Amino acid sequence: MSELKHYFAPTNLDQAVECLKDGDVTILAGGTDLTPQSQAGRVKIKQTLMNIRHVSELAGITLEGDEIRIGALTTITEIMNNALVKQHLPVLVEACDQFASDQIRNAATIGGNICNASPAGDTLIPLLVLDASVELASMPEAELYRHSMPLSTFFIGPGKTRRSLCELVTCVRIPLPPENHVARFHKLGTRPALDISKISIGIAGTLKEGILSNVRVAFGAVAPTPVRAPRTEKALEGQRLDEATIAKVANVAKDEVKPIDDVRASAWYRKEMIHNITRRLLSHVAQT
Amino acid sequence: MSVAEKKTRIIEPDTLIGKRIRKMDAPEKASGKTRYIHDINLSGQLHGKILRSERIHALIKSIDVSAARALSGVHVVITAVDVPDQRPIGVARDHFPLKVGRVRSERDEIAAVAAETEEIAEAALKLIKVVYEDLPVISNPEDAIKPGAALIHPEPHGADGSHEHLKQGTTIAHKGKPDNVAMTFDYAHGDVVQGEAESDVVIEDTFRLHYVTHCCMGVSGMIAEFDASGNLLMYSNTQVPFLHKREFAEYLNIDPARIRIIQPPIGGGFGSKLDIYPFEVICLYLARTAKRPVKMLFTREEEFLASPTRQPVLLTLRSGCKKDGTLTFRQVHTLHDNGAYTSWGATTPFVMMQTFSSLYRVPNCDYHTAAVYTNNPYAGSFRGYGNLQATFAIEQHMDMLAEKIGMDPLEFRMKNAQDAGEITGQGMSFKSCGFKDCLTTAAQRSDYSRKVQENKANRDKPGNIKRGIGMASMLHVGGGAKIYPSDGCGTILKMDDFANVTLITGASEIGQGSETVLSQLVCEELGLPISAITVVNNDTAITPWDVGVHASRTTFIAGNSAIGAAKKAKAKILAVAAKKFECAESDLDLRGGFVIKAASGEVVIELSKLLRNLHFQDKAELVMTTFYYEPPSVHQDKGFKGDVSAAYAWGTQVVEVEVDTDTGRVRMTRVTGAHDVGRVLNRLGIEGQIEGGVVMGQGYALTEELLIENGVMQNPNFRDYKLVTAPEIPEMDIAFIESMDGEGPQGAKGVGEAPAICVAAATANAICNATGVRMFELPFTPEKVYRALHGQTPKRYWTPWKAE
């Protein structure tokens, strides 16, 4: 039995953030992780359960200057069907298309996927290679306070982030990709739907006259958090994607990751897959 | 309509057999209106929950239930001490529902609570304190048979005091076992030494089959209620109501006549509900003690942890043949991981040895199984009953032998395939046999022989996707299985004044479609539309004897029984009509709800009118009949020989795959099946049953595995236990071979288990065809395949071992 005593459904951000002040609050958005996790006893529902689904400020996808803002409550289905995302961030659509099942995508939110901080979180890898940042809101005094941090510094461990208990993730912001931007995502599981990655890979950069620059590489399910891969990025930066480079970079990637054995895959297999899929994705990019 | 026109009305012949008939329970299920056991609540009902072991193998030093008993809302808390009349349960009577003194596996039941709500019951479990003393864990059957291995069921010693309050008996649960061997099976025909001497080619390999479980959508559950006189009413999902009624009576030490079992619609069985499990008996104890109805429902996690598994098997097969393709011998040794207790899994050799001895003509066969105790989950019966495991080994060896002698694998199989009229070394008599038709049909429809060669030629071409095609065939009982002294089923049939029929059958419906098929068979005899029938099949107080849903027997056995009752009703009706219309009975027939002239189809009288005439007269009569069908099969002798089934089902499946050599992922693209089903009764039903079975076989082959490490289940959930999902299901082309079995109902045979049997074996052959790499261990998950492709899978060899 949980310690749940209060249920609160705020209708604006001020109310939501104010509720978080005392810290003893479990936040409910889509509930697709919270429900099974709490029923299995892995997550304890705290004294207050706050349903943020009625906070309209947390919803929607908008173009704000040279950034796309995706509200924390946006569902995976909404992201997949959004014209702005389809046009500018196709790699995110690709990841959403491999996210769980239709039913779960209809309820699961991007804010939930981020705060859940799974090393295998499906949207996190494309968000990392797209240089996304998260915006957090809190109410230290009487006023609403917002600040942002790069997603790449947000995760600190499985299920652990830099969000403090009195903060709420309000949105992610993704800079509009520049001209000649390419990005690819691959998720490897046992089956094509309803699966947790054995590994996942995102690669992005600017491809001009066969040269890849401004490279971003991220790996999922090979470390306690989704990670950027600086050595692999460095090996790729400014390179022409010929066969020799691709082979070399795939080896760098394999050496860079330090995965573990678990119920989904062995460390050995994960390293092999990082190598093979990196090679495959780079070949696809080269053929762009 | 004028009188003249009415007199000349003709009813054209029509049949229900082979038609696509909607399952009778489909509308209720599709609209969510079916009331499963989950939806049944009795007034005054309590909720039961079980405390399971926190250890894998340990002595129970003490159990303190005082805090649980003190919790408000808790009615009953019981441990073994509170049920001094506990009797051992299970196929070998080797465990008590509530464990006494010792736990032997993760699922072991230590205490149980009945409380006003599920939440209170859960909270009470958390208040129970158990002190354990750990014992060494045996998690590998090979370790269990080593000399000096720790014993799972040692003789009880006075020092631990655990059995002191129990009467000494003769069961394993009482007196223990001096070794870890739970059961052995030894079978032979011919002379394998001689057979080997005559062989040009001999191969020997070890195969390893893994743990999977049924994953019924409806989790296990029951409700038990004792009335004021001590009579027991159970709402149960059992597949075997009559035998279990008797067994429950034994466990409660009451007269079986005082037990009534009602089966609500069952959300999947597949063999999982063929044994009595501790939770069922514990629920009875709770209800008896509480004097209130008690409902017990598993959580999904509990369903994984505490329901039976398919039998894991380690198997070494030695096979030989001559250069001309004649099989010479087969020698088989298996080590069955029995788990901590014995359920039906240990008896899968009954089926496995049939496949080894009789799927193909083998003049010499030698078969040995030892089922040994470990601290792992225990295996039960599961659709196919050992045949998936046996077929996996045999059909790979068929490909390997063919390759060795340079013969086309189809031709090699055709040369050794059984024909109608043969009696095998094991004494099985194949009165109808469509095996060769299955082989050629599946091969032709899949273009097997051309693709085998083409894929081989393409193996070393560039690209990471390799295509493969593989074949496997199966033999399974299709006319019941006489594993008990009786394999019979009874039917009661009654007709009302409006020519509606009520079919009261002993056969249980577990989603397989038996209600619909039995209705078809009855309506076919009586010339009635399917809408004229009501089926009653779920209450032991009403329905006649049956030995349960297993061995693909229901269509065959219950079908023949239903036909028997319908024929008697028809004979009575025609006799009455013949008398009334002064003609011979043989001149008349029933069709479209009318008595007609058999030759012309001309209407004689409306059937409902005739029935009313019969009823409302001076010597009033009703049409009510009974029939009991016992198949002409025999109980096997002590050497496991005998014609155990009244008919045998055959099938060939061809599986096509794409193997991604970068990842090891195997995509099943197409399955071509040809099944000897005797005759198609309900085309829609049999298509669904075959397709469902193929998908179950696909999961066994590719994705499903219960991961057990040191006795601990690592993935008791649908996130990490990976069932096949819709996008993975291959294209299917299923052909039916209608061999018209002489004993079968309308010529049909049972096929419930058949479609799941060949898939894994055919997949192994397909992967080998695609990549040149042969895999001996299931499942073919991406990592396992990738490892094998990169030479990272050491070839396992298990030295044949036989219990003394």
- Tell me the DSSP string of B259-281: EEEE-PPPS--TTTTSS--HHHH
Instruction: For residue B796, tell me if it sits in a domain.
Output: no
According to the model, what pLDDT value does residue B450 have? 98
User: Does B518 have pLDDT greater than 80?
Assistant: yes
Mean pLDDT of B237-259: 96
Instruction: For residue B754, tell me if it sits in a domain.
Output: yes
Same domain for B326 and B460? yes
Same domain for B572 and B658? no
Question: Residue B308: what residue type?
Answer: P
Mean confidence (pLDDT) of chain A: 95
Contact of B786 with chain A, judged by CB distance below 8 Å, is answered with yes
Mean confidence (pLDDT) of chain B: 96
User: Does B422 have pLDDT greater than 80?
Assistant: yes
- Identify the domain containing residue B145 by its residue range: 46-175
Instruction: For residue B182, tell me if it sits in a domain.
Output: no
Residue B123: closest C-alpha in chain A: A1
pLDDT digits (tens, 9 = 90+) for B529-543: 999 999 999 999 999
Instruction: For residue B63, tell me if it sits in a domain.
Output: yes
Taking contacts as CB-CB distances below 8 angstroms, the residues of chain A near B122 are 1
**CA-based nearest distance A273→chain B, Å:** 7
DSSP E strand stretches across B498-546: 501-505, 533-536
Confidence of residue B589 (pLDDT cuts 50, 70, 90): very high
Contact of B663 with chain A, judged by CB distance below 8 Å, is answered with yes
Distance separating alpha carbons of residues A51 and A30, to the nearest angstrom: 9
Residue B719: closest C-alpha in chain A: A195
Mean pLDDT of B226-254: 96
Which domain-ending residue is among B288, B306, B324?
A: B306
Q: Which of B663, B703, B726 sits opposite A276 (nearest CB)?
A: B663
User: Does B169 have pLDDT greater than 90?
Assistant: no
Same domain for B12 and B97? no
CATH of residue B542: 3.30.365.10
Mean pLDDT of B31-50: 97
* Residue B742 burial (CB count, 10 A): 11
According to the model, what pLDDT value does residue A39 have? 84
Contact of B691 with chain A, judged by CB distance below 8 Å, is answered with no
According to the model, what pLDDT value does residue B30 have? 95
Mean pLDDT of B295-309: 97
Q: Which of B123, B728, B787 sits opposite A1 (nearest CB)?
A: B123
Contact of A196 with chain B, judged by CB distance below 8 Å, is answered with yes
Same domain for B133 and B262? no
Mean pLDDT of B188-196: 98
- A272–B786 C-beta distance less than 8 A: yes
**CA-based nearest distance A96→chain B, Å:** 16
Distance separating alpha carbons of residues B591 and B603, to the nearest angstrom: 9
User: Does B619 have pLDDT greater than 60?
Assistant: yes
Q: Which of A40, A193, A269 sits opposite B725 (nearest CB)?
A: A193
User: Does B302 have pLDDT greater than 90?
Assistant: yes
* Residue A278 burial (CB count, 10 A): 28
Instruction: For residue B732, tell me if it sits in a domain.
Output: yes
**Encoding tokens for residue B164?**
């002191």
CATH of residue B158: 3.90.1170.50
User: Does B161 have pLDDT greater than 60?
Assistant: no
Q: How much of chain B exceeds pLDDT 90, in percent?
A: 96
Contact of B662 with chain A, judged by CB distance below 8 Å, is answered with yes
HEC profile of B416-461: HECCCCCECCCCCECCCCCHHHHHHHHHHHHCHHHHHHHHHHHCCC
Mean pLDDT of A111-128: 97
Which domain-ending residue is among B247, B282, B306?
A: B306
Same domain for B116 and B244? no
Taking contacts as CB-CB distances below 8 angstroms, the residues of chain B near A193 are 725-728
- B786–A277 C-beta distance less than 8 A: no
Mean pLDDT of A7-27: 95
Same domain for B380 and B330? yes
Taking contacts as CB-CB distances below 8 angstroms, the residues of chain A near B301 are 40
Confidence of residue B804 (pLDDT cuts 50, 70, 90): confident
Closest by alpha carbon to A154, among A178, A140, A141, A173?
Answer: A173
Closest by alpha carbon to A287, among A151, A163, A182, A172?
Answer: A182
pLDDT digits (tens, 9 = 90+) for B684-742: 999 999 999 999 999 999 999 999 999 999 999 999 999 999 999 999 999 999 999 99
Q: Are B642 and B429 in contact (CB under 8 A)?
A: no
Mean pLDDT of B67-92: 97
pLDDT digits (tens, 9 = 90+) for B353-404: 999 999 999 999 999 999 999 999 999 999 999 999 999 999 999 999 999 9
User: Does B1 have pLDDT greater than 60?
Assistant: no
* Residue A215 burial (CB count, 10 A): 22
Active site members of B: 753
Confidence of residue B7 (pLDDT cuts 50, 70, 90): low
Residue B667: closest C-alpha in chain A: A191
Mean pLDDT of B100-122: 97
Taking contacts as CB-CB distances below 8 angstroms, the residues of chain B near A276 are 662-663
Same domain for B339 and B268? no
Contact of B714 with chain A, judged by CB distance below 8 Å, is answered with yes
Confidence of residue A40 (pLDDT cuts 50, 70, 90): confident
Tokens 């009575």 — which residue? B572
Same domain for B494 and B470? no
Which residues, including other chains, have CB under 8 Å from residue B383's CB and lie 6 or more apart?
B214, B270, B271, B693, B696, B752, B753, B756
Instruction: For residue B205, tell me if it sits in a domain.
Output: no
Same domain for B119 and B150? yes
Instruction: For residue B525, tell me if it sits in a domain.
Output: yes
Distance separating alpha carbons of residues A138 and B527, to the nearest angstrom: 77
Contact of B465 with chain A, judged by CB distance below 8 Å, is answered with no
Residue A265: closest C-alpha in chain B: B783
Contact of B54 with chain A, judged by CB distance below 8 Å, is answered with no
User: Does A2 have pLDDT greater than 70?
Assistant: no
Which domain-ending residue is among B306, B329, B354?
A: B306
Same domain for B367 and B503? no
According to the model, what pLDDT value does residue B691 have? 97
pLDDT digits (tens, 9 = 90+) for A66-97: 999 999 999 999 999 999 999 999 999 999 99
Interface test with A, best of B714, B786, B789 (most A CBs within 10 A): B786
According to the model, what pLDDT value does residue B5 have? 52
Strand partners, A239: A212
User: Does B29 have pLDDT greater than 80?
Assistant: yes
User: Does B168 have pLDDT greater than 90?
Assistant: no
Contact of B726 with chain A, judged by CB distance below 8 Å, is answered with yes
Same domain for B60 and B170? yes
Distance separating alpha carbons of residues A62 and A58, to the nearest angstrom: 11
ipTM of the complex: 0.94
- B783–A198 C-beta distance less than 8 A: yes
Taking contacts as CB-CB distances below 8 angstroms, the residues of chain A near B703 are 190-191
Same domain for B137 and B219? no
Instruction: For residue B586, tell me if it sits in a domain.
Output: yes
Name the domain count of chain B.
Answer: 4
